[in-house]
Structure 1
């Protein structure tokens, strides 16, 4: 809502030509540059043909180092920001509940606040909290391993889901650099030696369920932008990973579908796939190659494994296209790191706790899922700007790794078709200098990210509108106008 009082101090304890120059804005504070895509060579070792760090060839690469946002750039004043933004917050398109926080990312000073500490439905801006939590909990180099172990009978193999949503069947997978079932099958056949595979047991017990969050809209598992959440799946549960469009059809039982795909690679029919659990020895059994000759493995002995891309890339996948399935998998990694159940409840509790461990106000994060699909989620705008400011200031260096995944205005991800409008409400000035996570549910529109002002100052912002009139198509452009206004003004 307009008329927020901006405090003087921090609260509580051609477009393509332009983009080529300023592609992904300044994301460094006090002389520290943020790199993209980010992983060092040591994280990305292995087969060059399947490098998890490979940049998506459909997206032109940005410069290797982003322009620096120096601490000496002129800072906006609270009065200047209020004068610039207040007229925009009266738009009927945003409805009657608009909570906002704008913060100087260099100093942490609050520049504009209204409802900044109000628990608000964040929609997919929730993913910023999930990203910070999982980067802190697992670290940017962590990989999720999918393993196969020997079953109780000769030829029986057990594939153990560890929550890698990017696992691919073969080289046509949805996610670049993913672990692949065809390579896993090759390892297993070699480890079995002369013993022919007879059965595939699918162990997805790491995720105890439920497979959907109770407060999700009913069409989420089948509408193409979400899926039921299981510990074993391929390509984010997509049925056709070669279809690179949006809203792809998903499997109703992703774990069984992955098991059937693996069985086929082993030369087995669908009837050879059963749901079960790995032998107890599987948790400690060494790899077959190091412990036994081919074909002599005891129950639980590891026969093969493949790994996901590093966590920094998984976070990028989640943020860039607002991947809800990846988000739910990453929230569960936070739960696992804290010995909590890898369920919706366990993951939400773990992420909320991690917020507190980062020194942020845990009371301002009350989550029900990791993606933002649940209408039960509540986050404050000020928590979102806290996360972004902490990442930009590098007080927790691993959090800076959330920036490579943030969509760039008029360039990439969920912002690729925004910030390029013309006319009275033009937002082109935000192109290339706004980098943000968006969020949309029926009646809810949100945006949170970072922006460089005309004077070169880096700001963090969050705008959450929770009562947008149904069918209102102008809410997104209005949010873009707010971010653009910050980009083109000195606000002093």
Structure 2
């Protein structure tokens, strides 16, 4: 049976009917959500009761704020609305969740709910059982990357001068979100553009008195080991859930940035290099410089890649463009659940941790960072860092602890992941969920990372409850009936937390 995988193509909303929000409301909402910690109150989406029953009033802290805080950062993390906000009673909450967290068809669910401020366990069903997490694995990768690389780190794509006159070396430094055109400073995808890189290269060559023909070489030697994880299904690779990994690519290894499903380039680095060569030829023609057709692989003056950034000691840098920050890339991979981007970020995390930029290095680096964070990894078995394989095994408690570290832990670097959690009914892979039925009361309130494989569903995130208490949670279902209504089960369960007084 073909698996339904966890990539952006399977988890993103795709052409389904959506509830339309007033433009002003949505604008204010998204502005409010841009404040990751200074404003802990998520506004609720309004709407009449679909059952004909009168709905309870929305608590003030779940309504649209009248003023917006400035984004100044809050190293202390998200905190309860006040110290007086009551913690849900375990027995009452457990009874409510046991009513909703029931598999539709085969399979079982494990789950954990914790008070974010104190870590108190409020709901425990198989908290320490090893479960396949699907794309919830990306939460671990995001946390590890923010710790090892730092939120403000950028990756450089460089053009180096070769020892052979008239030869330039396009050198990958980990940016797989390159755009074909000019750099777009306000974008994440396409922040660094190959047209801009080509124009800068032409200027540098002119200054060196070179008129052509210029030969382009490609150095993509930053990553080591197999480009494809042997644990991945070749069917998933063919479907475009991921692709062979390289340290440079266009559009997260997509042919078209507007299409996030379907087959990907199988040699994303060469595809990017050929695009650069074409841009170099176009820019060179305007300056009277010619470019030889074709691109070959060769390190040239790049030599042995050093310092994990694609540059070789002593090599002359002719031109350079830099990626969006790691924080922005983490937001993108969480919002869209992009397997390719997650795996590349994992390999860059490995380099920053002093490990090989291979699959094994990425896995080891993520585990090391979690251990250094104080999150127990005894039950963790990782075969990749994107969650695309059934070989990953994670407990719901571990996932909840990672979410708690992001919202309320002692490492302020992790706060950068807050904006990446999809928002129920509004953004990312939750954009087409929470729109109808009992789950609608969680719309705009529940913020969680999704996970989807053929028989696996997961949802881990955070929510401010009706009493103003911040809760973190993780719910994982394994052995589920494919095609059954288990996403609705997860959504109803998380919405219970949003509406919980539970006392």
Alignment partner, residue 200 of structure 2: 187
Contact 1:149 1:282 in 2 (8 A): no
Residue 200 in 1 paired to residue 211 in 2? no
Greater CA drift, 434-443 or 113-122: 113-122
Alignment partner, residue 110 of structure 2: 99
1:130-177 Cα shifts (integer Å, max 9, x gaps): 110000111110001111111121111111111211111114988445
Alignment partner, residue 100 of structure 2: 88
Q: Rate the CA distance shift 1:35–1:398 in 2: closer, same or farther, 3 A.
A: farther
How far off is 1:225 after superposition?
3.2
Q: Rate the CA distance shift 1:434–1:65 in 2: closer, same or farther, 3 A.
A: farther
Alignment partner, residue 146 of structure 2: 135
SS at match of 1:325: helix
Residue 302 in 1 paired to residue 304 in 2? no
How far off is 1:198 after superposition?
2.3
Alignment partner, residue 356 of structure 2: 341
Alignment partner, residue 114 of structure 1: 125
Residue 275 in 1 paired to residue 297 in 2? yes
Q: Rate the CA distance shift 1:88–1:148 in 2: closer, same or farther, 3 A.
A: same
Alignment partner, residue 229 of structure 1: 245
Q: Structure 1-normalised TM-score? A: 0.82
Alignment partner, residue 268 of structure 2: 254
Distance 1:25 1:484 in 2: 21
SS at match of 2:448: strand
Contact 1:99 1:116 in 2 (8 A): yes
Alignment partner, residue 360 of structure 1: 375
Alignment partner, residue 154 of structure 1: 165
Contact 2:214 2:291 in 1 (8 A): no
How far off is 1:487 after superposition?
0.9
SS at match of 1:216: coil
Q: Structure 2-normalised TM-score? A: 0.80
Q: Rate the CA distance shift 1:190–1:284 in 2: closer, same or farther, 3 A.
A: farther
Greater CA drift, 275-284 or 224-233: 275-284
Contact 2:41 2:464 in 1 (8 A): no
Alignment partner, residue 328 of structure 1: 343
Contact 1:282 1:299 in 2 (8 A): no
Distance 1:182 1:21 in 2: 35
SS at match of 1:165: strand
Distance 2:198 2:151 in 1: 28
Residue 238 in 1 paired to residue 254 in 2? yes
Contact 1:278 1:300 in 2 (8 A): no
Alignment partner, residue 47 of structure 1: none
Contact 1:201 1:275 in 2 (8 A): yes
Q: Rate the CA distance shift 1:22–1:102 in 2: closer, same or farther, 3 A.
A: farther
Distance 1:211 1:105 in 2: 39
Distance 2:317 2:30 in 1: 46
1:106-150 Cα shifts (integer Å, max 9, x gaps): 111010111111221110111111110000111110001111111
Contact 2:79 2:408 in 1 (8 A): no
Q: How does 1:428-447 map to 2 (within 5 A)?
A: 428-447=440-459
Query: Which one of the candidate residues 195, 216, 220 is aligned to 2:236?
Result: 220
User: Structure 1: where are the runs of 5+ without partners?
Assistant: 1-13, 37-61, 286-297
Residue 78 in 1 paired to residue 100 in 2? no
Query: Which one of the candidate residues 484, 489, 497 is aligned to 1:478?
Result: 489
Aligned length: 434
Distance 1:107 1:172 in 2: 44
Q: Rate the CA distance shift 1:327–1:110 in 2: closer, same or farther, 3 A.
A: same
Q: How does 1:481-492 map to 2 (within 5 A)?
A: 481-492=492-503
How far off is 1:380 after superposition?
1.2
1:53-112 Cα shifts (integer Å, max 9, x gaps): xxxxxxxxx95669974243121011111111012223334x333111111111110101
How far off is 1:191 after superposition?
1.4
Contact 1:365 1:379 in 2 (8 A): yes
Alignment partner, residue 265 of structure 1: 279
Query: Which one of the candidate residues 220, 223, 226 is aligned to 1:210?
Result: 226
Q: Rate the CA distance shift 1:69–1:367 in 2: closer, same or farther, 3 A.
A: same
Query: Which one of the candidate residues 435, 438, 451 is aligned to 2:463?
Result: 451
Alignment partner, residue 46 of structure 1: none
Contact 1:19 1:432 in 2 (8 A): no
How far off is 1:427 after superposition?
0.9
Alignment partner, residue 51 of structure 2: none
How far off is 1:184 after superposition?
1.0
SS at match of 1:382: helix
